[in-house]
């Protein structure tokens, strides 16, 4: 079974509470929150107050995906706001002590994760896998919802899965971007544990039914 983590990025922000309540009532496992700073990615989304507001009305784990340049500055803040997982981009931490950052996330009480852009070789993060609960392989370039899934993702997931198996690591693999009914079963068969799904859920007619359909495809 793979987990489903709806991303609220493409939801109607005028009715964010309703979207969170919908996710609460659905088969979704986590809630994925995309924080963007306009520097690491060209888009600006939302920050701490939205994470805090979501936490007040949900029991589902909050999976906070930080697409920001200095994630280490905000670990405590996002943990206090209610993040259960804190995911930092490998590319944002290249000149930093990434292991220390991951340890700090763990110490804060959140589960550490690292995210990888589509053009970063998967092998570059192998040495950090033992320090994280999850690796996110981006299946689009981060910044916007509704983009086309990059097919090379399948091989990247398989490569990471092989490494994890060979090293007896239980690190979860997450995929984010362009996930839909068309590719979710194949992604599961390649080894993906957590599926982030955004626009497919919020652009459709019935979000709860869409989540159930996606969940049944990976069960």
Catalytic residues: 34, 176
Buried b (16+ CB within 10 A) or exposed e, 111-142: bbbbbbbeebebeebbebbebbbbbbbbbbeb
Select 34 or 37, whichever has its Cβ closest to Zn ion: 34
Applying CB under 5 A, which of residues 34, 63, 91, 193 lies at the interface with Zn ion?
34
Select 65 or 188, whichever has its Cβ closest to Zn ion: 65
37 binds Zn ion (CB under 5 A): no
Task: Provide the token pair at 53.
Answer: 């507001």
Q: Which of residues 171-190 bind ligand DX5 (CB under 6 A)?
A: 176-179
CB of 10 to ligand DX5, least distance (A): 6
Select 9 or 164, whichever has its Cβ closest to ligand DX5: 9
Task: Give the CA count within 13 Å in the CB-facing half-sphere of 147.
Answer: 16
CA triplet 84, 87, 93: central angle to 5 degrees? Answer: 145
142 binds ligand DX5 (CB under 6 A): yes
Asked whether the CA dihedral 6, 219, 203, 147 is positive or negative, the reply is positive
Task: Provide the token pair at 37.
Answer: 């700073």
Residue nearest to ligand DX5 (CB): 198
The site for ligand DX5 (CB under 6 A) is made up of 7, 9-10, 32, 34, 65, 140, 142-143, 145-147, 176-179, 196-200
């Amino acid at each position: 079974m793979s987990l489903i983590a709806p991303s609220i990025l493409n939801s109607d922000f005028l009715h964010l509470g309703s979207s969170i309540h919908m996710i609460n009532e659905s088969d979704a496992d986590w809630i994925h929150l995309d924080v963007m700073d306009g520097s690491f990615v060209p888009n600006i989304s939302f920050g701490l107050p939205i994470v805090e507001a979501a936490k007040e009305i949900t029991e589902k784990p909050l999976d906070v995906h930080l697409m920001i340049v200095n994630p280490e500055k905000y670990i405590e803040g996002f943990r206090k706001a209610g993040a259960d997982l804190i995911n930092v981009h490998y590319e944002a931490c290249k000149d930093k002590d990434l292991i220390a950052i991951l340890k700090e996330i763990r110490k804060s009480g959140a589960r550490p994760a690292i995210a990888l852009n589509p053009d970063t070789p998967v092998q570059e993060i192998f040495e950090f896998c033992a320090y994280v609960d999850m690796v996110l392989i981006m299946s689009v370039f981060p910044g916007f919802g509704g983009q086309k899934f990059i097919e090379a993702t399948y091989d990247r997931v398989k490569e990471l899965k092989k490494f994890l198996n060979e090293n007896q690591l239980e690190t979860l693999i997450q995929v984010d971007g362009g996930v839909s009914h068309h590719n979710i079963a194949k992604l599961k068969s390649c080894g993906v544990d957590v599926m982030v799904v955004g626009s497919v859920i919020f652009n459709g007619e019935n979000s709860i039914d869409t989540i159930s359909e996606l969940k049944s495809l990976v069960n």
